[in-house]
């Protein structure tokens, strides 16, 4: 059976690189072949898997510099049916791509806002006068570069190759250890991994309301590797909390912690118990 | 003396509306006149105040739908010298602006990514086929609308008036109670308000590390109205935490809580003790 994997497109995005890396991993470790299906937004990528159009979706969750990908967390909470099967961490290196003969001729830089932010320092130093123009993806602007030699884009070296465009500088990200964590998700139940992701709303306001959930985990020695708040989209001051735990859903102490947590929360959603994929080509692995 | 206020420009942005509302408040309550100074990014707006180019800066911190403004939090942590003088909350209503004779003729929608996200539902319903194009501000694309009748932009009604452009639909934000909280900041020390904002890094990993800071506040009855994590920009899993407290810096219990907090944190930065401005024209006031 060929596995279909939804990802944010078009070709050359970092999400596509993650999908390719995962497809290779599937081939090597499970002898399964995969096809990639590009979607125009993260929300549509996740909906494709939620509606059974594809077997899997792979979406960015968090970058080491720019933080959480709000669209992924918000859509995940809303869709309510997807489960995280695996996580993978990919290093991110950005290149400045342009047909300009030298840096001084560049007047504009196109890229996804996260990529522009990740290269802020380099841009201020080498292209202080260029206009920074946000795009829907790192690759969106590439097709226009050959007709405008004053324009440039920030994308991966692989994208430059795909579009047959010159790389003027690489890597230009401010931190060499820039990496992004992705989730591989599907409609299958997921209960057997080392990591658990969940989210909840609390009945009242935040104050003591967060202490008890944290204590329920801490007193059982469960490591909370990440906490993120997102607006509940009602009024300012109403939040959802997203937790990543290092815990096994099959252990009694984990079940007890989750039962206790349920008592402190209004709505609690468990997004799955999953493993971190290792052995993906060119990847470094880190998780909090 | 005329007070200079830095804000994200150009004219017609919601940040400019906030600066105008605050300038009116200064006039009415302190008999001070103000001039507005537009800057091309939030980082540059904050730097203007930090370097003494302007007396004040006003920046968005959090929207009730889209959440924290990462650029504001990250720049505030880095600059290290600014103090929050006041907060204000402004309602946000978005309009669809276009020279098209009807909605069916619209092929593209330009706006700031946060505004596009805040109107997602409306766009899916009424303009499902239009291309959504992110811009640096809600007003950036307005000047091009008169030359392209298939283009539209999402901005405020006030922006449509300023640019003399027709409004096709208003309000189009998915939630009527959409509002944004702004901080008014300067180099002056700030110690006399009802709210305290602070941020810290923790020595080790997150797990028990967050329980103790939260307990230090909860056991003294201090309400934590907001918690936000941001990457420390080192590796995945290293975070900074941003807290908003309802507490008075001049009270002994607050001082004790902050002293205890200091013991649990690596770097602790107090961003000021400030009040919420009330009586700003057309505003609703809410804080977590």
Q: What is the pLDDT of residues A194-239, one digit of tens each?
A: 999 999 998 866 556 788 898 899 889 898 888 899 988 777 878 8
Cα–Cα dist A281/A284, whole Å: 9
* pLDDT at A288 (0 to 100): 24
- Say whether residue B288 is in contact with chain A using an 8 A CB cutoff: yes
> pLDDT higher for A5 or A13?
A5
Nearest CB neighbour to B206, from listed A135, A224, A286: A224
> Cβ contacts (< 8 Å) between A230 and chain B: which residues?
67
Closest alpha carbon to A286 in A62, A95, A85, A93: A62
> Cβ contacts (< 8 Å) between B43 and chain A: which residues?
120
* Class in CATH terms, B2-80: alpha beta
Output b/e per residue, A41-79; b: 16+ Cβ within 10 A.
Answer: bbbbbbbbbbeeebbbbbbbbbbbbbbbbbbbbbbbbee
Both tokens of B225, joined, read 């109205």
* pLDDT at B275 (0 to 100): 94
On the question of pLDDT at B282 being above 80, the answer is no
Cα–Cα dist B277/B208, whole Å: 36
On the question of pLDDT at B205 being above 80, the answer is no
Do the Cβ atoms of A37 and A54 come closer than 8 Å? yes
Cα dist from B46 to A140, B2, B60, B126, B278, whole Å: 30, 19, 11, 37, 23
On the question of pLDDT at B280 being above 80, the answer is no
Both tokens of B221, joined, read 């009855």
For chain B, the structural domain boundaries read: 2-80, 95-169
On the question of pLDDT at B136 being above 70, the answer is yes
* pLDDT at A102 (0 to 100): 94
Q: What is the pLDDT of residues A154-174, one digit of tens each?
A: 999 989 999 999 999 999 999
Nearest CB neighbour to A89, from listed B120, B208, B236: B236
- CA Rg value for chain B: 20
Phi, psi angle pair for B234, to nearest 5°: -100, -80
The residue among B236, B276, B283 with the most chain A CBs within 10 A of its CB, best to mutate, is: B236
Interface of B with A in 119-138 (CB under 8 A): 120, 132-136
* pLDDT at A206 (0 to 100): 54
* pLDDT at B279 (0 to 100): 59
* pLDDT at A285 (0 to 100): 28
Residue A135 banded pLDDT, cuts 50, 70, 90: confident
Q: What is the pLDDT of residues A75-104, one digit of tens each?
A: 999 998 999 999 999 998 999 999 999 999
Query: Average per-residue pLDDT in chain B?
Result: 89
* pLDDT at B287 (0 to 100): 25
Mean pLDDT of B32-52: 94
> Cβ contacts (< 8 Å) between B288 and chain A: which residues?
205-206, 236-239
* pLDDT at A287 (0 to 100): 25
The residue among A174, A204, A207, A213 with the most chain B CBs within 10 A of its CB, best to mutate, is: A207
% of chain A beyond a pLDDT of 90: 66
On the question of pLDDT at A127 being above 80, the answer is yes
* pLDDT at A204 (0 to 100): 67
* pLDDT at A284 (0 to 100): 31
On the question of pLDDT at B38 being above 80, the answer is yes
Residue A117 banded pLDDT, cuts 50, 70, 90: confident
A252-264 vs A207-218: helix crossing angle, rounded to 10: 170
Residue B61 banded pLDDT, cuts 50, 70, 90: very high
- Say whether residue B233 is in contact with chain A using an 8 A CB cutoff: yes
On the question of pLDDT at A282 being above 50, the answer is no
**Same topology between domain B2-80 and domain B95-169:** yes
On the question of pLDDT at A141 being above 90, the answer is no
- Say whether residue A230 is in contact with chain B using an 8 A CB cutoff: yes
Task: Determine the CATH number of domain A95-169.
Answer: 3.40.190.10
> pLDDT higher for A58 or A65?
A58
> pLDDT higher for A185 or A117?
A185
Do the Cβ atoms of A270 and A198 come closer than 8 Å? yes
State whether B134 and A135 contact (CB < 8 Å): yes
Instruction: Give A199 to chain B, closest Cα distance, Å.
Output: 15
- Say whether residue B78 is in contact with chain A using an 8 A CB cutoff: no
Q: What is the pLDDT of residues A182-197, one digit of tens each?
A: 999 999 999 889 999 9
Interface of B with A in 185-204 (CB under 8 A): none
Mean pLDDT of A106-117: 90
* pLDDT at A267 (0 to 100): 94
Instruction: Give B26 to chain A, closest Cα distance, Å.
Output: 25
* pLDDT at B215 (0 to 100): 87
């Amino acid at each position: 059976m060929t596995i279909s994997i939804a990802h944010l497109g078009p070709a050359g995005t970092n999400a596509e690189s993650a999908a390719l890396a995962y497809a290779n991993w599937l081939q090597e470790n499970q002898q399964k072949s995969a096809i990639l299906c590009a979607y125009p937004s993260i929300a549509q990528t996740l909906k494709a898997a939620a509606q059974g159009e594809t077997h899997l979706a792979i979406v960015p969750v968090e970058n080491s510099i720019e933080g959480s990908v709000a669209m992924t967390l918000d859509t995940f909470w809303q869709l309510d049916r997807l489960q995280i099967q695996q996580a993978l961490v990919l290093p991110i290196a950005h290149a400045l791509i342009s047909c300009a003969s030298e840096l001084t001729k560049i007047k504009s830089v196109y890229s996804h806002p996260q990529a522009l932010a990740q290269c802020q320092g380099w841009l201020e130093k080498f292209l202080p006068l260029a206009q920074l123009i946000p795009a829907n993806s790192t690759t969106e602007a590439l097709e226009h570069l050959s007709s405008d030699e004053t324009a440039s884009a920030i994308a991966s070296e692989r994208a430059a190759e795909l579009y047959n465009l010159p790389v003027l500088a690489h890597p230009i990200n401010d931190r060499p250890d820039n990496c992004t964590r992705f989730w591989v998700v599907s409609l299958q139940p997921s209960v057997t991994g080392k990591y658990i992701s969940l989210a909840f709303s609390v009945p009242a306001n935040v104050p003591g309301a967060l202490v008890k959930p944290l204590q329920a985990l801490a007193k059982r020695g469960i490591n909370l590797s990440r906490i993120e708040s997102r607006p509940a989209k009602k009024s300012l001051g109403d939040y959802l909390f997203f937790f990543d735990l290092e815990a096994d859903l099959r252990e009694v102490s984990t079940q007890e912690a989750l039962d206790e947590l349920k008592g402190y929360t209004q709505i609690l959603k468990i997004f799955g118990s999953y493993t971190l994929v290792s052995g993906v080509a060119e990847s470094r692995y880190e998780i909090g």
